[in-house]
Structure 1
């Protein structure tokens, strides 16, 4: 069956076969196994390297060395100065009486495993083994696509990542910011509302690094129209009715006067749609323009409406201004008369003559004011 059997070749058997190949030992001669008391086997501490970095494998030489080789799990990398590996990332660094060092550049997960340095001295064979561990930063490999759903639907987001050590995953809503989150690879959102629409972020983290990717969720919902505000306008002036609607997808607007739809430019009326707002504009309001108007916002999920009243505001004329002035003057005169008549009574003393004259003068003023009031009436 040979040294190692037909089906399974362990690294120990590989070392023995390597010695036979390298040192041209006749197949019939005995070869010292690694369990031989005269062999000198050494296991070094694990070497940990990040994916993409370079790893150096060093084997001490020591005694008079006749042959030496580096092997990985299934093949010979270097035999002395002779390169057996076809991998361009593997190269010889040092080969001397003190050490035998090779390097592997741009290490990947396929390079992880056990490596053996086999040395044949003048006295006995020796092996040195080391295990290479490759750490891999997290990488999100499966993420849900951007979604467009109707309000009330159940939503499931998936985020899967690879890495070594295995990364932890978390979800959160970042735009608009919210407290919705999960520490699992699956995020469930039952009966989603418009407030939960936005950008969701999946984060994968391990000891090596972090990977972040996002998913956009758009929630469609029927229009909701703000309550209409009545507007007063003077004849001949400009009037504007504004209708505002919240909807996804964005609503289209229709304006009506009673049961008749108003078209843009009809009867001197312009309609201007600005996203969520529609404006009905009258540039020269006439008597026939006053009345009730209805705004309807429509999208694929439904509609909503509100009503407005355009009413007349009367500007004051010269006659109305004169009437208001007379009324104001009459009120002022009456209040002055009352103030004079209800003033403090005169107290006679040594100057009673002067006080009497003052009282007589005040009475004359009151009489004149009263005559003026009668004449205006």
Structure 2
């Protein structure tokens, strides 16, 4: 458009002068519906998500002689003549009554004031719209997975940006998964083995999809033997001794008999399964009975436990009862007829007593 025409400033006052072509800086990005401009109202604030399409509405009447859209001091459209070089920007018109501006794939560079300027036969009119661009939260800096020793102090980092500025929250992904005290930096003093695991960082803003990332924390600690199983085995059978230990990193196991280390040889077999060790004696003899020691080690420490391989104790037979001997009288369980024998003895004693009394009375 080469003609000189009456332009407008952002304050809404018409001034005379030449208007030169200029381009509005913009880019791309998701959004919310926008409101129409109203010449009787001041500045409208319109919020839209990055990446969405914004339509800034402006309505005119039949008496309009000149109309234009401006971004700050730059003309975007004058009538239907496009002055902006941005391919994302175009007009939405319905007959002669609508003169709306459409911006596709809105980005943060599109944020700012827009002015619809109308000159009619009566007086010039302007209406301003302030475009606010929301940017979904994005975590751009987070701690790498780490391995620490139990008792260390740990700091986890999670930095995020967005418009508006997002909130950052941490969770330890246990069955409860409760939120932790911390924002961009999570401080853990004297970390324990129970605090190992996966940590979730979430950056969130109202109405926008959150961004979530994770940090894995491994906590090293020395072995702790949790269970050791003794064995009671008869001669000729297979004996098994078991030893379980918790440790990070996984422990190495050794077996000892007295002060002698045992290895897998003919008759004895040792197998380790991570935190579990098994010693098997294929054919137990008398020489195999006794005390064994399981030793679990890793780079942080050592722990041991004693286990026993012992022979079953057979039940003893009852000692037969004996009659009276010269030295000892043993209790004897009454047999059949004993009660009768006692009754006869009592009767005989009573008869002798009565006979003695009769003899005294009659002076035998």
TM-score (norm: length of structure 1): 0.72
Aligned residues: CA RMSD? 3.3
- Is residue 2:256 matched to residue 1:287? no
Cα shift at 1:268: 1.5
Cα shift at 1:315: 5.6
Cα shift at 1:131: 0.7
**Matched-pair contact (CA < 8 Å) for 2:12–2:126:** no
Q: Distance in 1 between matches of 2:281 and 2:85?
A: 84
Q: Distance in 2 between matches of 1:147 and 1:227?
A: 30
Q: Provide the residue aligned with 1:20 in structure 2.
A: 18
Cα shift at 1:238: 0.8
Q: Provide the residue aligned with 1:60 in structure 2.
A: 59
**Matched-pair contact (CA < 8 Å) for 2:230–2:242:** no
1:172/1:338 CA distance change after superposition, 3 Å:
farther
**Matched-pair contact (CA < 8 Å) for 1:22–1:79:** no
- Is residue 2:239 matched to residue 1:239? yes
Deviation readout 1:207-227 (Å, 9 max, x if unpaired): 123333222111001111135
TM-score (norm: length of structure 2): 0.74
Deviation readout 1:218-261 (Å, 9 max, x if unpaired): 10011111353432110010111001111001111111122222
Q: Provide the residue aligned with 2:216 in structure 1.
A: 216
Cα shift at 1:87: 2.3
1:129/1:96 CA distance change after superposition, 3 Å:
farther
- Is residue 2:250 matched to residue 1:261? no
1:95/1:73 CA distance change after superposition, 3 Å:
farther
**Matched-pair contact (CA < 8 Å) for 1:41–1:127:** no
Q: How does 1:182-221 map to 2 (within 5 A)?
A: 182-209=181-208, 210-221=210-221
- Structure 2 counterpart SS, 1:131: strand
Cα shift at 1:114: 0.3
- Structure 1 counterpart SS, 2:191: coil
1:276/1:339 CA distance change after superposition, 3 Å:
farther
Q: Distance in 2 between matches of 1:151 and 1:286?
A: 44
**Matched-pair contact (CA < 8 Å) for 1:176–1:199:** no
Unaligned runs of 5+ in 1: 1-9, 24-39, 329-333, 346-377
1:217/1:117 CA distance change after superposition, 3 Å:
same
Cα shift at 1:90: 1.5
Q: How does 1:124-135 map to 2 (within 5 A)?
A: 124-135=123-134
1:187/1:22 CA distance change after superposition, 3 Å:
closer
Between 1:196-205 and 1:292-301, the stretch displaced more is: 196-205
Between 1:102-111 and 1:202-211, the stretch displaced more is: 202-211
State the number of aligned residues: 308
- Is residue 2:57 matched to residue 1:51? no
Q: Provide the residue aligned with 2:360 in structure 1.
A: none
- Structure 1 counterpart SS, 2:190: coil
**Matched-pair contact (CA < 8 Å) for 1:155–1:192:** yes
**Matched-pair contact (CA < 8 Å) for 2:170–2:182:** yes
1:268/1:22 CA distance change after superposition, 3 Å:
same
1:15/1:214 CA distance change after superposition, 3 Å:
farther
Cα shift at 1:53: 2.0
Q: Distance in 1 between matches of 2:183 and 2:52?
A: 31
